[in-house]
Amino acid sequence: MPQVDLQELKREYLEYLEIERNRSPLTVRNYDHYLEIFLDWSKAEKPGDITAACVRSFRLYLNRREDENGRKLKKITQDYYIIAIRGFLKFLAKRDIETLSSEKIELGKVKDRQVEFLEIDEVERLLQAAHGGKSENLRDTAILEILFSTGLRVSELVNLDIDKVNLKTGEFSVRGKGDKLRMVFLSTSAKIALNDYLLRRKDLSPALFVSLKETGDPSRLSARTMERIVKKYAVAAGIVKKITPHTLRHSFATDLLRNGADLRSVQEMLGHSSITTTQIYTHVTDKHLKEIHNKFHSNKE
């Protein structure tokens, strides 16, 4: 059987991810990027060129690689390359193409993720910092309230349209990673903040959150702009932690678990495909339980 060019096989693999695995366009682009760098570095032309020694040398290259500022690749980023290579090798095996077994490639041990989140008093300070009568204050308060109330990813929030949010019921569906649909819910304060903001809107843009231009049609806010908004009020509130929209997602999950929500429910509300991802929050709540035990248990000696 004639050997098939690796670039052609890569193209077929990316199509497989898109059609049969239903991966998002962003995931497909990322896999394309990781595999292209690997194939370019390795100079591999056929499946048999991908050997254990080749992959091991590539991992060493990734681990020692530095950008122009001398910064190395994060371990989790290095793992993304290896995950893409393993997936490609599994695909080749399904096609009965002889190459390195994906099982011979192990992911490096990664340190437990450190979850940065806000205590409830910090959330209240953050929200208070955004309060005010200007249109900008109303919009930004609504953004902060929704992030904490729903646990939305910033990418999910920026893509929301007004007609997708049911203010009457305080719930709506959102399509997240992997094209997965889930329900999210607005707290009473989030509903009030969003309603106040929308009553102030006079434009015809379908986007839920827009720039506040004095002339011309407003544009949909970008993820970067929302990150700047969150940072602005974190500084104003005197919060020294590094705060991003994702910090409010972590705070949402932590708050639910601390107040007795079960892990499976939190998994659904966050839109995690695997409960393993949600389990990053358990060490946070375990620490909280230890504090409660130390504070209230009779035998304190």
Task: Find the distance separating the first CA and the last CA of the chain, reported in whole Å.
Answer: 76
pLDDT value, residue 1: 44
Please indicate whether residue 177 is annotated as part of the active site: yes
* Catalytic residue from among 46, 59, 95, 177: 177
88-112 CB burial, b ≥16 within 10 A, e <16: bbebbbeeebebbeeeebeeeeeee
Task: List the one residue out of 151, 113, 141 whose CA is nearest residue 246.
Answer: 151
Please indicate whether residue 153 is annotated as part of the active site: yes
Please indicate whether residue 31 is annotated as part of the active site: no
DSSP 8-class letter at 162: G
CB-based contact 96:86 (threshold 8 Å): no
DSSP calls for 141-185: HHHHHHHHHH---HHHHHT-BGGG-BTTTTEEEEE-GGG-EEEEE
* Catalytic residue from among 34, 81, 197, 281: 281
Residues 6+ apart with CB under 8 A from 18: 25, 28
* Catalytic residue from among 10, 23, 153, 182: 153
Q: What is the pLDDT along the chain (301 residues), one digit of tens a residue?
A: 456 789 999 999 999 999 988 888 888 999 999 999 999 999 998 999 999 999 999 999 999 988 888 888 888 889 999 999 999 999 999 999 999 999 998 876 655 566 789 999 999 999 999 999 999 999 999 999 999 999 999 999 999 999 999 999 999 999 888 778 899 999 999 999 999 999 999 899 999 999 987 667 799 999 999 999 999 999 999 998 889 999 999 999 999 988 888 889 999 999 988 888 888 887 766 666 666 667 776 655 5
Please indicate whether residue 246 is annotated as part of the active site: yes
What is the pTM (predicted TM-score) of this model? 0.67
At 32, the amino acid letter reads D
Domains along the sequence of the chain with CATH? 6-104 (1.10.150.130), 120-295 (1.10.443.10)
* Catalytic residue from among 23, 182, 191, 249: 249
